[in-house]
Structure 1
């Protein structure tokens, strides 16, 4: 599959070196007019125009011809930070750079409707016709992990690496950090252990490994955190991993939790060494969870890539409620790894499909030939999490008709290593006849994902934004709450769409 040039996979390349060192739409050619005024939902109209295509598609949005490349392969990603950063920006009347918009992280934030497997990872596929491109389908590949309870997990050793630099004194970043850490400490079991490293110009241990049962002492150390001087992120992470190694005990999980705005301006300016160490320790079972804070002076790229290298999870905390969601209700799942080195490979039947494109996952691309190469790093999926990949798929003329549509046009396979380090593969297929003929006939969660994809397409200046107007997007979004029993996250999404398209 083609790899987007917008976000490349060279994690230790020049862009990340710089990060550490330095730190529209038309009315759709009559589409809106074709929608009934009483119910302007997307699939209520039959578009009176031929299947459109950009005149000069950019590399990141163009379709791949399956006769040339029928396989799409990528490492799994359960990050959500891109969406919550967008939410924070909108709430403050700001915007985020398109380079920070990662479609998969927007989609991953929301609940899905996948069945949970009994163990490891499970795969599901469904699809709906795109009313604004009648021969195209939105295909959803869902991968979910088995749930886990706090009772079943091993005791955890957490090393909290906290950014205490001067930039953390801006825009309430330090207070947000302290609130998140208090939530985390309160959610731990008495038999878990916590250590804390604070870094500014230099790094230092501000809390030696302490049982979570000594909660008052841990919270007192949190209360004493204060912003000061410059930012030596590399030193903070190096010391954090040293402490994590010293805490390593058989039968316990070890995690490093980095909380920062991602700004780094002193100390190690070449990230190769620290990234290499993060990757090495991840293979030894020490995962990195990166937590971003602060809408200003924020290095999204660095924090997202550190989590990828650390086989962990990148989140962004914008509210106390999000801190509760991540560190309290989501804590158990974020500690227990359900599958390691997880990759997905999606195959399209060239006799039925004329083109496809993956929405998102630009910096998670894997060479097709490396799908079964377990020496190539995949993604880690934590217990109780789901990850979703969306594809726009163009069917060949007549492929959606009865008969040919009974044969699968897409096959999705997930490969991962289980607890014993043995590879496991699971697959599902989807025939054209099983696709919904419109979003209204699709699963409500698939409709939700379509709305999210329409939003990110607009933020990225994608091809759909030249067909779907702001009014069309708002109308489709406003139809979701009734179908999803008033899901508060979806209700909030609608508010954000209204602000983004105002």
Structure 2
């Protein structure tokens, strides 16, 4: 684990920052149910319409007469979907609390045009096939593409969980694959350091030029599961290294590889999250990447990414590691927009109710939309994020715009920028078959997450409806392997 004179041991509290590559599992909080399928909804004749759908419950429709604004911090996470995929492939199911609709949607290509700089917003909609008078509205936000040639050089600190649980289900080997892929994607002028933590933490690789692939590979090969899990010590030492590497004009990031379950030192999420938040405000963002099914603390890892102004992914296969780390990850370390928020306004004269699908833990008070002291989300270069709404229109409305979407963010100079789009009902696709293929794709995804969480749509649709819509995607998006895989997963969880 490095030469003795370079060894630093840490087991006390301190501030920490992370890009989390979390090799993880689901025991803390009972996140995984063993056996059975992911479905299990009532038979069609047992479904019923909830009598309080517009007034109470987690899936309530909001009344624009009382609250015309929907405001949330942007989120580009995708981990919830790949975790679901991993569970299905292993014959398991994830808990409804781990199903985050926006992360399922964000995993898939949306077809938005990239702006030249910063962020831009688009909006489209189609009639819901199973609810008369309802529209599925898609608000899409896209960041400018990364320019890897001009990005600042990166200093990365990899903080790797070497506890005994990393010996389960090939988690350590998956971690090594991910780290080797990351190392291979770096430019020669980047630098890497590595921390390994178990009961204590130690430096496995002092700051080293990425051009020294032999040193990086040897450090990765040396990683092996040991004893307890002192995440606090690992984050503390990782932050110390990041601070020592910080150089003007370079990006400094910390990468945590963990199963997310701490059992030694300060194990409270609150303490860790506060330290992550402090460093995020100083400009170090967090990207959390999870691996492994068992003993997985999904809540902590997702919250780390949110609080750290970063993004959360889940690596279930070597192919996913390649997708995440080899296809421009280092370019997407560049922040395209800071404190990004979206606000969607509904015209009460035309809209009787609306519901945001997902983003439950990214809510921002409407009054704070233009308060730049209130933290929003950081959006990295080359990313897209999508918000879906179920909107109920009033009968006999005019053809004025019924929805207006605005994205607000701070540019590289810290100046606020706003961009707005609006939509009339005449611009909506009259049927889902006439909608854009990517909007149809999002309907299928939303129907799937609705069934996984026993949402309100499951009272009007059955597994056959979901299967029918999914199969239709294979014609409109032929050649998209991610969509083909989604259709296959849906077939497995609904039969």
Whether TM exceeds 0.5 here: the answer is: yes
Identify the residue that residue 414 of structure 1 maps to in structure 2. Answer: 407
* 2:273 and 2:303 in contact (8 A); partners too: no
Residues 20 and 91 from structure 1, CA distance in 2 versus in 1: closer, same or farther, beyond 3 angstroms? closer
- For residues 124 and 182 of structure 1, what CA distance do their matches in structure 2 show? 37
Identify the residue that residue 25 of structure 1 maps to in structure 2. Answer: 41
Determine if the alignment matches structure 1 residue 445 to structure 2 residue 438.
Answer: yes
Determine if the alignment matches structure 1 residue 457 to structure 2 residue 473.
Answer: no
Structure 1 residues 427-471: Cα deviation after superposition (integer angstroms, max 9, x where no partner): 100111100011111010000000000000000000111211111
- For residues 436 and 202 of structure 2, what CA distance do their matches in structure 1 show? 51
- For residues 468 and 426 of structure 2, what CA distance do their matches in structure 1 show? 28
- Match for residue 242 of structure 1 among 217, 232, 240: 240
* 1:180 and 1:323 in contact (8 A); partners too: yes
Unaligned runs of 5+ in 1: 1-18, 32-51
- For residues 165 and 375 of structure 2, what CA distance do their matches in structure 1 show? 33
Identify the residue that residue 369 of structure 1 maps to in structure 2. Answer: 367
* 1:22 and 1:263 in contact (8 A); partners too: no
- For residues 88 and 373 of structure 1, what CA distance do their matches in structure 2 show? 39
Deviation at 1:276, TM superposition (A): 2.1
- For residues 426 and 112 of structure 1, what CA distance do their matches in structure 2 show? 19
Determine if the alignment matches structure 1 residue 429 to structure 2 residue 422.
Answer: yes
Identify the residue that residue 328 of structure 1 maps to in structure 2. Answer: 326
- Give the number of aligned pairs: 459
Residues 461 and 432 from structure 1, CA distance in 2 versus in 1: closer, same or farther, beyond 3 angstroms? same
Deviation at 1:156, TM superposition (A): 0.4
- Match for residue 302 of structure 1 among 291, 300, 303: 300
Identify the residue that residue 109 of structure 2 maps to in structure 1. Answer: 111
- Match for residue 55 of structure 1 among 40, 51, 56: 51
- Match for residue 225 of structure 1 among 223, 226, 237: 223
Identify the residue that residue 473 of structure 1 maps to in structure 2. Answer: 466
Deviation at 1:280, TM superposition (A): 1.6
- For residues 355 and 129 of structure 1, what CA distance do their matches in structure 2 show? 15
- For residues 373 and 221 of structure 1, what CA distance do their matches in structure 2 show? 45
* 2:339 and 2:372 in contact (8 A); partners too: yes
Unaligned runs of 5+ in 2: 1-26, 32-39
RMSD: 1.8
More displaced 10-residue stretch of structure 1: 242-251 or 72-81:
242-251
Residues 232 and 20 from structure 1, CA distance in 2 versus in 1: closer, same or farther, beyond 3 angstroms? farther
Structure 1 residues 348-403: Cα deviation after superposition (integer angstroms, max 9, x where no partner): 0000000001000000000000111111110010100000000000101223xxxx
Task: Please give the secondary structure, in 1, of the residue aligned with 2:133.
Answer: strand
Task: Please give the secondary structure, in 2, of the residue aligned with 1:362.
Answer: coil
Deviation at 1:21, TM superposition (A): 11
- For residues 295 and 269 of structure 2, what CA distance do their matches in structure 1 show? 19
* 2:269 and 2:300 in contact (8 A); partners too: no
Identify the residue that residue 216 of structure 1 maps to in structure 2. Answer: 214
Residues 376 and 283 from structure 1, CA distance in 2 versus in 1: closer, same or farther, beyond 3 angstroms? same
Identify the residue that residue 95 of structure 2 maps to in structure 1. Answer: 97
Task: Please give the secondary structure, in 2, of the residue aligned with 1:131.
Answer: coil
- Match for residue 191 of structure 1 among 180, 189, 192: 189
- For residues 439 and 30 of structure 2, what CA distance do their matches in structure 1 show? 40
Deviation at 1:476, TM superposition (A): 0.7
* 1:61 and 1:462 in contact (8 A); partners too: yes
Structure 1 residues 42-90: Cα deviation after superposition (integer angstroms, max 9, x where no partner): xxxxxxxxxx842244521010000000000000000000000000000
- Match for residue 288 of structure 1 among 286, 291, 299: 286
* 2:115 and 2:142 in contact (8 A); partners too: yes
Deviation at 1:338, TM superposition (A): 0.3
* 1:436 and 1:442 in contact (8 A); partners too: yes
Residues 127 and 117 from structure 1, CA distance in 2 versus in 1: closer, same or farther, beyond 3 angstroms? same
Deviation at 1:117, TM superposition (A): 0.7
